[in-house]
Amino acid sequence: MPAPSRSRRSTSSGTDWRRVEPAPLMLLKGPEDFIATRVTDRVRTALRQADPGLELHRLDAADYQSGQLSMLASPSLFGEAKIVLAEGLQDMNEAFLADCLDYVAAPADDVTLILRHTGGNRGKRLLDVVTSSGVLVECQPIKSDADKADFVVGEFRSRRRSIDQEAVRSLIDATGGSLTDLAVACQQLAADTEGTVTTQVVDRYYGGRVEATAFRVADAAIEGRAGQATALLRHALATGVSAPAITGALAMKTRQIARIVDARISQGQVAQVLGMAPWQAKRVSETVRFWNPATIAAAIEWVAQADAEAKGLAKDAEYAVERVVTRIALTARR
């Protein structure tokens, strides 16, 4: 079987971790262990398909002994391909730095050296050399909801499956911010279900695990997802989120919509007007189409009344908040 293609060049922005191919020198840079593990597994699978006798060796750059790298990278008795995975480069000792600089100047063709560096400036000279002559994969945390949504869609697409937009949001709400948890959930849903994954499917599997916050409640309400908004609200209140926190989040979201509801501006201009990141502006731009000046003005009044009730005007603050959440969610999309 022919060996897999082995890329030798990198770019400053790094290689897409979903599509990376084996290369003699590879730098996995950043704190997100999930991405680093996924890349390592992908490279190992590709190389093992070409050479079932593939050897995998690990070493700790912080506890490195001089000469260890050259010994592990030396040709094996029967010429099997090798992966040498060097971890902990952020804490590398001087012996590793010296040996690795020597090695990367003339790497072996039958060895894939994977360097794992979680962050910091330790070994900057080495990192610069590998970045310019090898393959850089950025292993940065995926923080925004937009990037998490792209991740979920990519997980299903890689399995030739699809998931609808509302289900993507439900799954993110249910599993929280961990890429590992998201990946496991995607794998389970793809394995256990057929057809397009819907919100109903996600709720059946993960409805009891929703990570409810005031802003998730507000997002669901303002986007017209009434059932999910109510479920998130009840879970949020049950887990200690206060009623005024909910009305505060609703007030912020409705004011954002009001500022741009009647404006014909681009997504980039939305980000400038509202002072937010591009991914946040994208979500607001998608949501504003569910509203018009009259309905959003009414929603702002409802939130103001509910906020006063949540802060003592009403005897049952939670009922007041649930009423306004439901009212807003049912008004959106009309």
Question: What is the spatial order of strands in the sheet that 25-29 belongs to?
Answer: 55-60, 82-87, 111-117, 25-29, 135-138
Cα(174)–Cα(198) distance, integer angstroms: 14
Q: What's the token pair of residue 285?
A: 């731009």
- pLDDT score for 184: 86
2 has a pLDDT exceeding 50: no
| Mean pLDDT computed over 161-190 | 85
87 has a pLDDT exceeding 60: yes
| Mean pLDDT computed over 183-206 | 88
- pLDDT score for 9: 47
- pLDDT score for 208: 58
Q: What percent of the chain is modeled with pLDDT above 70?
A: 93
Q: Say how far residue 165 (Cα) sits from the centre of its chain.
A: 16
Q: Are 114 and 2 in contact (CB under 8 A)?
A: no
- pLDDT score for 163: 96
176 has a pLDDT exceeding 50: yes
- pLDDT score for 34: 92
Report strand pairing: 82-87 vs 25-29: unpaired
Q: Are 149 and 168 in contact (CB under 8 A)?
A: yes
Q: What's the token pair of residue 180?
A: 């590992």
Highest mean pLDDT, choosing among 36-40, 187-191, 280-284: 36-40
| Mean pLDDT computed over 297-314 | 93
Q: Which residues neighbour 223 within 8 Å (Cβ) at sequence distance 6 or greater? A: 287, 290, 332
User: Predicted confidence band at 143 (pLDDT cuts at 50, 70, 90)?
Assistant: confident
- pLDDT score for 167: 87
Nearest to 329 by CA among 207, 182, 220: 220
250 has a pLDDT exceeding 60: yes
11 has a pLDDT exceeding 50: no
| Mean pLDDT computed over 42-61 | 94
Longest distance between any two alpha carbons in the chain, whole Å: 81
User: Predicted confidence band at 212 (pLDDT cuts at 50, 70, 90)?
Assistant: low
Q: Are 40 and 114 in contact (CB under 8 A)?
A: yes
Nearest to 26 by CA among 122, 121, 138, 125: 138
Dihedral sign computed on CA atoms, order 120, 125, 126, 130: positive
Cα(332)–Cα(199) distance, integer angstroms: 18
- pLDDT score for 203: 78
Q: What's the token pair of residue 185?
A: 């959930």
Taking residue 267's Cβ as centre, other Cβ atoms within 10 Å add up to: 14
Q: Are 68 and 99 in contact (CB under 8 A)?
A: yes
The CA-based angle 97-116-65, given to 5 degrees, is 40
Q: What percent of the chain is modeled with pLDDT above 90?
A: 60
Q: What is the pLDDT of residues 291-305, one digit of tens each?
A: 999 999 999 999 999
Residue-range domains of the chain with CATH: 25-138 (3.40.50.300), 142-211 (1.10.8.60), 213-334 (1.20.272.10)
